Structure 1
Amino acid sequence: MIVTFKSKASGDLIYFKDAALKLLNLMGRDDKVPSALYAEDVPAALQQLQQGLAEIAEQEKVKVQQQEEGQASSDGKKYISLNTRAIPLLEMLQKAQKKQCPVSWE
């Protein structure tokens, strides 16, 4: 399943459901799809997401280090950190905060 984040402040973002739900949880939201943030709730969600990503960055360093050493994950796929995946959403939330726009996902 795919989750699309939308805001008038930027273009649409498309995430696979598992990544989207992790990011929503880090923002302090439940896994309800579709849903939305009011414009006044965007700054708090952005702050929570940034804090959550900082906390898991240490955990991801181990996986990134293993990848750099030439070790792949057990299924042979390269690991892409949640922090890397979150960059477009962070940018969307920052633009939405600046322009005072809501953010929705479906």
Structure 2
Amino acid sequence: MIVTFKSKASGDLIYFKDAALKLLQLMGRDDKVPSALYADDISQALAQLQQGLSAIAETERVKAAQTENDNEELQGTTQISLAVRAVPLLEMLQKAQKKHCPVLWE
């Protein structure tokens, strides 16, 4: 399943359900799809998302440093972190905040 984020401030964003639900959780939202953020709630959701992503990125850095030598078998594989996947959503929220527009997801 996919989740589409929409706002008049920017184009639509499409995420797989698992990534979208993690991002919604980091924003302090429940896992209801469809749902929305009012324009007045975007600042708080954006701040919570940024804080949550920073915490996840730090955890990933520590874990990577600990297992750096043990990953000889996995050298050919690459995982894209949630922080990287969240960049378009962060940009959408910032644009929606500037234009005072709501953000919807379905």
Into which bin does the TM-score normalised by the smaller protein fall?
A: 0.7 to 0.9
Corresponding residue number in structure 2 for 1:6: 6
User: 2:88 is matched by which residue type in structure 1?
Assistant: P
Unmatched tracts of structure 2, length 5 or more = none
Partner-residue secondary structure (3-state), 1:90: helix
Residues 56-94 of structure 1 show CA distances to partners (whole Å, capped at 9, x for unaligned) of 11122234984xx76538xx7521000000000000000
TM-score (norm 2): 0.87
- How has the CA–CA distance of structure 1 residues 92 and 71 changed in structure 2, closer, same or farther, with 3 Å as cutoff? farther
Separation in structure 1 between the aligned mates of residue 72 and residue 93 of structure 2, nearest angstrom: 35
Separation in structure 2 between the aligned mates of residue 13 and residue 80 of structure 1, nearest angstrom: 17
- How has the CA–CA distance of structure 1 residues 14 and 71 changed in structure 2, closer, same or farther, with 3 Å as cutoff? farther
Partner-residue secondary structure (3-state), 1:12: strand
User: 2:74 is matched by which residue type in structure 1?
Assistant: A
Corresponding residue number in structure 2 for 1:51: 51
CA RMSD across the alignment: 2.0
Unmatched tracts of structure 1, length 5 or more = none
TM-score (norm 1): 0.87
- How has the CA–CA distance of structure 1 residues 34 and 77 changed in structure 2, closer, same or farther, with 3 Å as cutoff? farther
Q: Does 1:72 align with 2:70?
A: no
Q: How many residues align?
A: 102
Separation in structure 2 between the aligned mates of residue 31 and residue 95 of structure 1, nearest angstrom: 23
Q: Is the Cα contact below 8 Å between 1:63 and 1:79 reproduced in 2?
A: no
The percent identity for this pair of structures is 73
